């Protein structure tokens, strides 16, 4: 996970609860000393501005006609409840804090904004609850169960040590995990999953070739567990 994003998320809860501001700052781009500014200056000469402009043009198309999201240069503003706003600031310089955000859309079922965070080597999604602005970072887009009460996200990112399938739902104004399942990422890092019913998912994982591991994830007594598929 991005360094600056981690810091922002750790500080978010007390800041949001304090009620002192209607702005929720999710990410920032603040240099750690002037030496980093000098590194940024060099990196800025190599920045692919054409690619960045293309990404912004695509995003503008998705935003067209909406009044709950706005971009101004490097800042992305997301409308929240009670006249609050979540702010994500791009940091396009190639260091441990690099992140570029793109607004993908608004999930009407879950009532959250969906953004893509590109750190150069990795891409993650940020689901931002409209009610309070509390974010949930995921490795995939949310896949809703047939009853529309919960969704599944997850995948494999061995470099970041993220190897979970997460079943989550709305709890008040936040998105909360109901259960987590460890995926066989070490041997089969390419996983896909689909709902079989309201309380059952089928997971298929592969390496570079055919599927080598299948799991059935089910809920019983409020607990999610996984077992092999015969």
Query: What does the DSSP assignment read for 175-211?
Result: EEEEEEEE--TTT--EEEEEEEETTEEEEEEESSSSE
pLDDT value of position 92: 80
Same-domain status, 124 and 145: no
Same-domain status, 119 and 220: no
pLDDT at position 78 over 80:
yes
pLDDT at position 12 over 70:
no
pLDDT at position 166 over 80:
yes
- Radius of gyration (C-alpha) of the chain in whole angstroms: 19
Q: Which H or E element spans position 17? A: helix 3-18
Same-domain status, 120 and 158: no
Same-domain status, 148 and 117: no
pLDDT value of position 169: 94
Identify the DSSP state of 59.
H
Both tokens of 35, joined, read: 């030496």
Band of pLDDT at residue 160, cut at 50, 70 and 90: confident
Last residue of a domain, one of 121, 138, 155: 138
Last residue of a domain, one of 83, 108, 138: 138
What is the tally of structural domains in the chain?
2
Same-domain status, 158 and 107: no
- The mean per-residue pLDDT over the stretch 64-79 comes to 96
pLDDT in tens, 80-118: 999 999 999 998 876 656 788 999 999 999 999 999 998
Residue pointed to by tokens 């750190």:
119
Same-domain status, 7 and 103: yes
DSSP bridge partners of 76: 71, 88
Same-domain status, 34 and 131: yes
Same-domain status, 222 and 127: no
pLDDT at position 156 over 60:
yes
Same-domain status, 10 and 85: yes
Same-domain status, 27 and 124: yes
The whole domain housing 62 covers: 1-138
pLDDT value of position 203: 96
């Amino acid at each position: 996970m991005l360094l600056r994003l981690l810091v922002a998320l750790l500080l978010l809860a007390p800041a949001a609860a304090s009620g002192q501001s209607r702005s929720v700052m999710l990410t920032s781009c603040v240099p750690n000393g002037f030496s980093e500014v000098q590194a940024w200056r060099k990196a800025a000469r190599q920045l692919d501005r054409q690619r960045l402009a293309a990404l912004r043009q695509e995003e503008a198309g998705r935003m067209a006609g909406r009044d709950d999201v706005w971009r101004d240069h490097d800042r992305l503003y997301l409308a929240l409840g009670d006249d609050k706003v979540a702010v994500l600031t791009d940091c396009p310089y190639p260091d441990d804090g690099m992140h570029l955000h793109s607004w993908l859309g608004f999930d009407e079922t879950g009532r959250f904004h969906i953004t893509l965070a590109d750190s150069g080597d990795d891409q993650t999604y940020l689901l931002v609850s409209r009610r309070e602005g509390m974010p949930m970072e995921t490795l995939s887009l949310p896949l809703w169960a047939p009853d529309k009460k919960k969704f599944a996200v997850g995948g494999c990112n061995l470099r970041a040590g993220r190897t979970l399938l997460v079943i989550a739902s709305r709890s008040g104004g936040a998105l909360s995990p109901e259960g987590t399942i460890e995926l066989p990422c070490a041997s089969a890092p390419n996983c896909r999953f689909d709902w079989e019913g309201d309380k059952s998912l089928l997971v298929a994982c592969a390496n570079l070739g055919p599927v080598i591991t299948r799991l059935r994830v089910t809920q019983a007594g409020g607990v999610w567990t996984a077992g092999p598929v015969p």
